[in-house]
Structure 1
Amino acid sequence: MQINKLKARMIEQGYTQRRLADSMGITVQTLNSKINGRSVFSLNEAISISKILDIKNPEEIFFTSTSQKCNDMS
């Protein structure tokens, strides 16, 4: 996961963690835990964030690390 890209997009779109959490229907604490890597985003949450923040290529934010790990294992 590319947290810096997600945070940059939030800033570009004028979203705080509170506003994004409210838009997603989750608590700020839950969102903060996911952003800080203490828990993971579900697929539905990644889709929701992508729609809310108008992210055109969500795989660049949510799936980059997984792809890199898979490539490293080859």
Structure 2
Amino acid sequence: MTNTLELEIAIKRAGITKRKLAEMLGLSEMGLYKKINNITEFKASEIAKLAEILDLKNKDEIFFNQEVI
């Protein structure tokens, strides 16, 4: 499951809007919202692209943490 809080922090830190991020990932804004909030899952290719766009050093903690609150 996605650690929503950590991902939100990473997005803010990168200074990118969710609208622009969704566009860069080829998703609708609603599609991105659903993935961030664990309604649907990110694909491996989307995680790789997010890690690059947001310069994530802790992608495993964000996307592969089993103890997400």
**TM-score in terms of structure 2 length:** 0.86
1:37 CA displacement? 1.4
1:24 CA displacement? 1.1
Gaps of 5+ in 2: none
1:57 CA displacement? 2.3
Gaps of 5+ in 1: 69-74
Tell me the amino acid that sits aligned with residue 34 of structure 1.
K
Of structures 1 and 2, the larger Rg is shown by 1
Greater RCO (Cα-Cα under 8 Å, separation 6 or more) = 2
The 3-state SS of whatever aligns with 2:5 is: helix
The 1-side partners of 2:25 and 2:42 are apart by 12
Report the identity percentage: 33
Report the equivalent of 1:17.
Answer: 18
Number of aligned positions between the proteins: 66
Tell me the amino acid that sits aligned with residue 10 of structure 2.
R
Report the equivalent of 1:48.
Answer: 49
1:36 CA displacement? 1.5
Greater helix proportion = 1
Q: Deviations over 1:2-31 (max 9, x none)?
A: 110000010011122101101112111110
RMSD: 1.1
